[in-house]
């Protein structure tokens, strides 16, 4: 009995249950880890049944790279099975937003397999936050679709390359690996070969140090000629993050090609049993509430964008409803729970929101250095709150002006100078309130 108890303690410690909230055990970097494999997905493919694959992640997955190439590979392996890939990736976002948008963007498609790729965008997040979000994602999938297979995928940037080359996963991926260990999920480290080739002097991570002007959108998929170094080395990407489709993404896809046949032979098909939570405060019980939900009070200059509005059309796939807030417009509600955020837009015409939680007020600016265009964002209001308490929230559009040109990256200021009229408004756009908890009416 004592031996069993000590083994259990060792297992939980390895998974990070007894670690301090922001303490990380750096996990070993290997090409892939099989664990329970992908048995349900594999069984359907082998039987020639139709399958749906959801690619859930950030801009690296949103690119037309490993996502598209791996789906094509599956079609080649299993020509008798209809393979339907779903692009559920959003550039510039991490697992925190992922835990709240999972139901709408992924689970509605009834996937047979979900690839989860957030290691890069979670690179600056606190380990405690990653644990809550990633376990929440896993548990939501398991609750809704008990036979759905899950696979974590780890990508690389120039900034964390040295971790891989030292034989360790970066901190964010190491935290995720702890979740994967507990839930017996396979993981594929598609960065392994990239780090190896760079260390051998056969690859360079970036063609230039100019950086990107956008963190999402079609520009990341521009089929420009891939540069080569003078001595013929492979150029992984243009910015050290977003791989070229013909080089970096091919290396990523080849890593999956090597792993998938092995993962397909592991495990036994059937419904997965959901164990007790690893972290009691994980984000499995989330709520996504449009602003017209009963119990949410709207006041002032706030309007629902019509379906034919250009902004509404652009983001309809992710935000079916978007409200525009003019100066002084406000949103008020009460909830019982531990976390509250909102799903909104950042863009050239966006301004500042004043957020009040339980009587304490601060400002959130919804404009940053990339804002030559509109993109999805999340605004944090409160976290690690007393889950048993009722919390009061008010969000107000201030209409305050500020120097947008000075905030833009220098390389983006030409856009301001060319068309400063699009930067003149100071409005806001909000679509959904996110809660870990429930609304109180």
Q: Lowest mean pLDDT of 80-84, 247-251, 398-402, name the range.
A: 247-251
Contacts of 405 (CB under 8 A, 6+ apart): 413, 416, 417, 420, 423
Q: Report the distance separating Cα 386 and Cα 70, nearest Å.
A: 43
Q: What is the pLDDT of residues 99-158, one digit of tens each?
A: 999 999 999 999 999 999 999 999 989 999 999 999 999 999 999 999 999 999 999 999
From the number of C-beta atoms within 10 Å of its C-beta (0-12, 13-18, 19+), residue 48 rates as: exposed
Q: Report the distance separating Cα 175 and Cα 225, nearest Å.
A: 37
- By C-alpha distance, which of 218, 231, 265 is closest to 43? 265
Rounded average pLDDT over 244-252 = 91
Q: Report the distance separating Cα 263 and Cα 187, nearest Å.
A: 9
Give the H/E segment covering residue 415.
helix 413-418
Q: Indicate if the pLDDT at residue 438 is higher than 90.
A: yes
| Whole-number percent of the chain with pLDDT over 90 | 82
Q: What is the pLDDT of residues 191-244, one digit of tens each?
A: 999 999 999 999 989 876 544 455 555 544 444 456 667 777 888 888 888 998
Residue 18 has a pLDDT of 45
Question: Sign of torsion, CA 369 370 374 377?
Answer: negative
pLDDT band of residue 366 (cuts 50, 70, 90) is: very high
Q: What is the pLDDT of residues 272-311, one digit of tens each?
A: 999 999 998 899 999 999 999 999 999 999 999 999 999 9
Q: Sort residue 400 into left (φ over 0), alpha (ψ -120 to 50) or beta.
A: beta
Residue 22 has a pLDDT of 74
Q: Which structural domains are found in the chain, ordered by start? A: 10-264 (3.40.50.1110), 286-440 (2.60.120.260)
pTM, rounded to two decimals:
0.85
CA distances from 9 to 49, 183, 276 (A): 42, 16, 15
Reduced to 3 states (helix: H, G, I; strand: E, B; else coil), residue 405 is helix
Residue 278 has a pLDDT of 94
Inter-residue contact 282 to 131 (CB < 8 Å): yes
Question: Sign of torsion, CA 275 276 281 286?
Answer: positive
């Amino acid at each position: 009995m004592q031996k069993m108890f000590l083994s259990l303690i060792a297992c939980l410690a390895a998974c990070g249950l007894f670690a301090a909230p922001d303490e990380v055990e750096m996990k070993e970097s290997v090409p892939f880890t099989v664990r329970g494999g992908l048995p349900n997905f594999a069984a359907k493919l082998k039987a020639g049944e139709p399958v749906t694959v959801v690619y859930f992640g950030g801009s690296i997955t949103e690119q037309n790279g490993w996502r598209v190439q791996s789906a094509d590979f599956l079609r080649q392996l299993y020509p008798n099975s209809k393979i339907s890939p779903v692009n559920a990736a959003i550039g510039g976002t991490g697992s925190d937003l992922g835990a709240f948008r999972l139901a709408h963007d992924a689970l509605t498609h009834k996937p047979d397999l979900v690839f989860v790729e957030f290691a890069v965008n979670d690179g600056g997040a606190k380990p405690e936050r990653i644990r809550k979000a990633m376990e929440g994602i896993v548990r939501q999938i398991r609750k809704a679709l008990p036979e759905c297979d899950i696979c974590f995928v780890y990508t690389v940037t120039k900034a964390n390359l040295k971790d891989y080359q030292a034989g360790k996963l970066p901190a964010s991926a190491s935290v995720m690996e702890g979740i994967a260990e507990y839930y017996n999920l396979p993981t594929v480290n598609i960065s392994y070969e990239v780090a190896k080739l760079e260390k051998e002097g056969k690859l360079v991570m970036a063609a230039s140090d100019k950086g990107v002007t956008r963190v999402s959108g079609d520009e990341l998929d521009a089929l420009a000629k891939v540069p080569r170094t003078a001595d013929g080395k492979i150029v992984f990407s243009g910015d050290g993050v977003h791989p070229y489709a013909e080089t970096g993404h091919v290396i990523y896809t080849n890593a999956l090609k090597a792993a998938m046949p092995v993962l397909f032979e592991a495990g036994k098909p059937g419904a997965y049993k959901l164990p007790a939570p690893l972290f009691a405060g994980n984000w499995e019980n989330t709520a996504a509430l449009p602003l017209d939900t009963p119990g949410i009070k709207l006041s002032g200059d706030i309007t629902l964008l019509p379906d034919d509005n250009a902004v509404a059309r652009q983001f309809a796939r992710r935000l079916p409803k978007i409200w525009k807030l003019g100066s002084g417009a406000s949103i008020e509600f009460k909830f019982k729970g531990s976390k509250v955020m909102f799903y909104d837009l950042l863009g050239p015409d966006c301004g500042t929101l004043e957020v009040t939680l339980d009587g304490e007020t601060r400002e959130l600016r919804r404009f940053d250095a990339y804002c030559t265009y509109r993109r999805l964002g999340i605004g944090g209001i409160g976290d690690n709150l007393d889950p048993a308490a009722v919390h009061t929230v008010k969000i107000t559009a201030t209409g305050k002006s500020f120097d947008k040109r000075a905030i833009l990256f220098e390389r983006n200021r030409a856009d301001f100078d060319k068309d400063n009229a699009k930067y003149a408004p100071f409005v806001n756009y909000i679509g959904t309130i996110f809660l870990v908890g429930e609304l109180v009416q």
